[in-house]
Chains A and B, each alone.
Chain A
Amino acid sequence: MGEGRQAQEVVLRLDGITKRFGALTANDGIGFSLAKGEVLALLGENGAGKTTLMNILFGHYTADEGRVEVFGRPLPPGQPGAALAAGVGMVHQHFTLADNMTVLENILLGTEPLWKLGLGRGAARARVERLSHDFGLAVHPDAKVGSLSVGERQRVEILKALYRDARILILDEPTAVLTPQEAEALFATLRKALAQGLSVIFISHKLHEVMAIAHRVVVLRHGRLVGEVATADTDRHRLAEMMVGAEIAAPAPREAVPGPALLSLRGVSTAGEGNSPGLRALDLDLRAGQITGLAGVSGNGQGALAELLSGLVAPISGEMRVADRPVARWTPREALAARIGRIPEDRHRTGTIADFTLTENAVLESYRDEPFARTGLMDWTAARGHAERIIQRYDVRCPGPETRIRLLSGGNMQKLILGRALEAEPRIILANQPVRGLDIGAVTYVQERLIAARDEGAAVLLISEDLDEILALSDVIRVISDGRLSPEFPRGSKTPAELGQWMAGQGFDHAA
């Protein structure tokens, strides 16, 4: 599809964009162009420079070098309004909607002057309804955004961009939160948008989607543009290689020797919260020496299961047994006492205290125990020794144990969290998205450590939205959908496509 479009009008051109943050070059001379009616995929790992590039386009950062042209006119740098005014609309991965307002109000917010919010609604509503019809974005204008599903919220974000006369749509990881069906509907909308002459930049690291929707692919790695190909001339494997820069060598775990169940759930339910469902009558066994992979589309109860194992929420019904003893009181302290090692999903806000030093973070889960504390008094020398041990054993790159942890990179932060959990010699390990956002070296390191812990007899629950990661590491796989768990699938017994059907919620009805 790509070649016919080369001659067409260029709507967006980036030229030699360079942006440095201290010693780090986030964008290094990046240049590409987008044609009218084209879908261009921006592919790259986390940290490859995609976000920085978009922030430059939207005037949040000023590039050190290079220029941006929209519809042939240079975009003034450092002005957040300029790209919007020039007709570029962005749909963020994390939505920027007000839950307590209606769809229509959200669309008008920031578009119309505040004092006009009450007036001229009729015309605005007609326009929103027309756009929603033209682009197949079915959503009721008077519904409160708080009551909408994730897919519907995304439609509101797209409508918002279209309402502002966006001619170029930028979608940041748009399918991360969608079911396959919702993603299909999104693609249908995008095709309608293309037919009307819009252009799309599609930011993703999901290769099959990129192959399905994009005409051309631009690959970023470590801030550099490393490849630009038409999807017709490439395949998933070659894109993956371009993205990570080498043949991907996933750690190959040896066969597991499962032992007794160290943690069992029987008919356990938890209360849901807002848009995230609770768990619905879950049965689960985590066995010694086994990695259980939990696959699923984001927001289907992974968070609830992680919170349950972390001790943040207790079951509202059903039985939970740890080391064959029923659990009565259940808090993070009990979870730690039951020797559950926890690697939380959000290392910045949950896993660490950003303004604490590495020393203070290293003892976060054990500060009350000897030798770090005696009769309520802290022994900071012992704590510092512990931090130094973790820094050394887990290869945490940092200026020293008295550095505030917020100054560390994500990978090094994660290594400290991993070390903190593993040094306590856990029997059960909860690893929630343990490698998200890490560079490939850190990914391999974390995964190898998890496999090693399994080999030493720990029961590991690996939660990930990346099916490839689940397939590579898990001894058994469970799929979570809408708070329910699929049966246990042994390694290799299901194809990705079959798992995908379970992820979409098929198979549960007759299983339940």
Chain B
Amino acid sequence: MRLEPIANPGLARSAGLPAAAIALTVVVASLLALLAGADPLATLGLILKGAAGSKFALLETLNRATPLIFTGLAVAVAFRAKLWNIGAEAQLYAGALLTVLVGTQLGLPGPVALPLMALAAILAGALTLLGPVLLKTRLGVDEVVTTLLLNFIMLLFISMLLEGPLKDPLGMGWPKSEALPRDARLPRIVDGLRLHWGFGLALICALGTWVIQTRTTLGYEIRATGLNLQGARFAGIPVNAVMVKTALISGGLAALAGFSEVAGLKGNLTLDISPGFGYTGIIVAMLAMLNPLGVVVSAIFVAGIFVGADSMSRAAEVPTYIADILLATALLFMVLAIMLTRFRVVRG
């Protein structure tokens, strides 16, 4: 058996296979529900209802999608250049840290503070990824290892700060920072509901990333570098500089997830602002085939599964772990579908 590239996959292939992937995911989910002793159709219905069944549910899904759009974009940008940034989690926390520092320590009025907090966060995230990428371009150190390990270093560093200098004196001993002042928070899009303007910022970033990738010389350089490093270098593309620029953009985007979560939702810095958004961003980006606009769709899809599964588990006797399994199977089937749209399997 071997793979033969397909020159022009027809509509049946390029639309049918992803649809089949989703259908297969639903089948696996149904089997799991059966295994847990619940009615599969009812379980799926509950997930769907919990994710999009009401205005509240839908806004909650978009809310959860917001950080995933940022981390998904961060991963999509980096992976295009074959820069394997597994450290979006660390960059997210670096962004969250600077958001809180600028927001609580400088005593600036809100309209000045918010943009400054965002800029500081972007800078912090970009610098967090700068180290690994310089080690990669200068010394050939594998960035998968360095970015992954930085996640743990960053968490421990934040933990140290929250137990020490940044600890909220009024926090009853909990490891959390002082809260941002009211006017240094992102306003809500709809009054009374939790969805905040971080979501709007995420959409703008997705559009901006798409423009960079498809319309600018930098995007062209990033794609060339990722597809063929040797060819790009021969053509005069400064591949190391491109890597560094890619890293700055990627780290900045991931950091905005931290900014948006702190300034839009939580109001202060704790060690649980991210339940692995940085890692889930990899799934989001892969499902979107690294397309920035696709990232928005896949982030909402992934967030919907999480929010829906949470809500379902409150109503039925099926554990929320089903969300993780659903995501994993959706990813595997989707990757397979993507491969089969580009290649056909032939015998001999």
A residues adjacent to B (C-beta < 8 A): 61-62, 77-78, 310-312, 331-333, 335-336, 342, 344, 349-356, 360, 364-365, 367-368, 373, 376-378, 406-407
Are B217 and A310 in contact, CB atoms less than 8 angstroms apart?
no
Are B236 and A333 in contact, CB atoms less than 8 angstroms apart?
yes
Interface size class of B (residues with CB under 8 A): 20 to 34
The 0/1 profile, CB within 8 Å of A marked 1, for residues 215-242 of chain B is 1111110011001101111111010000
Are A350 and B231 in contact, CB atoms less than 8 angstroms apart?
yes
Are B234 and A350 in contact, CB atoms less than 8 angstroms apart?
yes
Given contacts A353-B228, A376-B217, 15 further A-B contacts (CB under 8 A): A331-B236, A342-B234, A349-B230, A349-B231, A352-B231, A353-B232, A354-B227, A355-B227, A355-B228, A356-B227, A360-B224, A365-B235, A373-B217, A376-B216, A378-B215
| 10 A-B pairs closest in CB distance | A62-B348, A332-B236, A333-B236, A364-B235, A353-B228, A78-B348, A353-B231, A350-B234, A373-B217, A355-B227
Are A367 and B347 in contact, CB atoms less than 8 angstroms apart?
no
Are B224 and A364 in contact, CB atoms less than 8 angstroms apart?
yes
Are A336 and B236 in contact, CB atoms less than 8 angstroms apart?
yes
Of all chain B residues, the one with the shortest Cβ separation from A363 is B220
Q: Which A residues touch B224, using CB under 8 A?
A: 353, 356, 360, 364
Task: Please tell me which one of the listed residues B227, B228, B234 contacts residue A332 in the complex, with CB atoms under 8 A apart.
Answer: B234
B170 in contact (CB, < 8 A) = no
Q: DSSP class of B's interface residues: helix, strand, loop or mixed? A: helix
Q: Which B residues touch A351, using CB under 8 A?
A: 231, 234
B16 in contact (CB, < 8 A) = no
A342 CA / B236 CA spacing, docked (Å): 11
Q: Which A residues touch B9, using CB under 8 A?
A: none
A335 CA / B216 CA spacing, docked (Å): 24
Are B5 and A62 in contact, CB atoms less than 8 angstroms apart?
no
A296 CA / B348 CA spacing, docked (Å): 40
Of all chain A residues, the one with the shortest Cβ separation from B1 is A78
Q: Which B residues touch A368, using CB under 8 A?
A: 217
Are A378 and B217 in contact, CB atoms less than 8 angstroms apart?
yes
Q: Which B residues touch A352, using CB under 8 A?
A: 231
Q: DSSP class of A's interface residues: helix, strand, loop or mixed? A: loop
The 0/1 profile, CB within 8 Å of A marked 1, for residues 299-336 of chain B is 00000000000000000000000000000000000000
Known: A350-B230, A353-B227. A378 touches B220 (CB 8 A): yes
A50 CA / B217 CA spacing, docked (Å): 43
Number of A-B contacts (CB under 8 A): 68
Min CB–CB distance B292 → chain A (angstroms)? 16
Are A376 and B236 in contact, CB atoms less than 8 angstroms apart?
no
Task: Please tell me which one of the listed residues A78, A356, A365 contacts residue B236 in the complex, with CB atoms under 8 A apart.
Answer: A365
9 interchain pairs, CB-CB under 8 A: A331-B238, A350-B234, A353-B224, A354-B228, A360-B224, A364-B231, A365-B235, A365-B236, A368-B217
* Most chain B CB inside 10 Å of its own CB: which residue of A335, A351, A353: A353
Are B234 and A367 in contact, CB atoms less than 8 angstroms apart?
no
Of all chain B residues, the one with the shortest Cβ separation from A406 is B5
Q: Which B residues touch A378, using CB under 8 A?
A: 215-217, 219-220
Q: Which A residues touch B232, using CB under 8 A?
A: 353
B7 in contact (CB, < 8 A) = yes
A378 CA / B215 CA spacing, docked (Å): 5
A310 CA / B232 CA spacing, docked (Å): 13
The 0/1 profile, CB within 8 Å of A marked 1, for residues 229-262 of chain B is 0111111101000000000000000000000000
Are A367 and B231 in contact, CB atoms less than 8 angstroms apart?
no
Of all chain A residues, the one with the shortest Cβ separation from B223 is A356
A356 CA / B237 CA spacing, docked (Å): 15
A322 CA / B238 CA spacing, docked (Å): 22
Are B215 and A377 in contact, CB atoms less than 8 angstroms apart?
yes
Are B236 and A360 in contact, CB atoms less than 8 angstroms apart?
no
Known: A312-B233, A312-B234. A367 touches B227 (CB 8 A): no
Q: Which B residues touch A78, using CB under 8 A?
A: 347-348
Q: Which A residues touch B230, using CB under 8 A?
A: 349-350
Q: Which A residues touch B220, using CB under 8 A?
A: 360, 367, 378
Min CB–CB distance B291 → chain A (angstroms)? 15
* Most chain B CB inside 10 Å of its own CB: which residue of A335, A354, A356: A356
A360 CA / B219 CA spacing, docked (Å): 12
Q: Which B residues touch A354, using CB under 8 A?
A: 227-228
Of all chain B residues, the one with the shortest Cβ separation from A331 is B236
Are B348 and A61 in contact, CB atoms less than 8 angstroms apart?
yes
Min CB–CB distance A147 → chain B (angstroms)? 22
* Most chain B CB inside 10 Å of its own CB: which residue of A62, A310, A332, A336: A332
A356 CA / B231 CA spacing, docked (Å): 11
Are B236 and A311 in contact, CB atoms less than 8 angstroms apart?
yes
A407 CA / B5 CA spacing, docked (Å): 9
Min CB–CB distance A371 → chain B (angstroms)? 13
Of all chain A residues, the one with the shortest Cβ separation from B4 is A21
Known: A332-B233, A365-B236. A377 touches B227 (CB 8 A): no
Q: Which B residues touch A332, using CB under 8 A?
A: 233-236
Of all chain B residues, the one with the shortest Cβ separation from A337 is B236
Q: Which B residues touch A331, using CB under 8 A?
A: 236, 238
Of all chain B residues, the one with the shortest Cβ separation from A62 is B348
Of all chain B residues, the one with the shortest Cβ separation from A342 is B234
Q: Which A residues touch B7, using CB under 8 A?
A: 407
Min CB–CB distance B99 → chain A (angstroms)? 29
A377 CA / B238 CA spacing, docked (Å): 17
Q: Which A residues touch B238, using CB under 8 A?
A: 331, 333
A356 CA / B236 CA spacing, docked (Å): 16
A311 CA / B235 CA spacing, docked (Å): 10
Chain B, range 1-26, C-beta contacts under 8 Å to A? 5, 7
Q: Which B residues touch A355, using CB under 8 A?
A: 227-228
Min CB–CB distance A26 → chain B (angstroms)? 14
Min CB–CB distance B33 → chain A (angstroms)? 41
Of all chain A residues, the one with the shortest Cβ separation from B234 is A350
Are B5 and A77 in contact, CB atoms less than 8 angstroms apart?
no
Q: Which A residues touch B216, using CB under 8 A?
A: 376-378
Q: Which A residues touch B233, using CB under 8 A?
A: 312, 332
Q: Which B residues touch A336, using CB under 8 A?
A: 236
A376 CA / B235 CA spacing, docked (Å): 17
A368 CA / B235 CA spacing, docked (Å): 11
Task: Please tell me which one of the listed residues B219, B234, B347 contacts residue A62 in the complex, with CB atoms under 8 A apart.
Answer: B347
A77 CA / B348 CA spacing, docked (Å): 8
A373 CA / B218 CA spacing, docked (Å): 11
The 0/1 profile, CB within 8 Å of A marked 1, for residues 67-105 of chain B is 000000000000000000000000000000000000000
Q: Which A residues touch B234, using CB under 8 A?
A: 310, 312, 332, 342, 344, 350-351
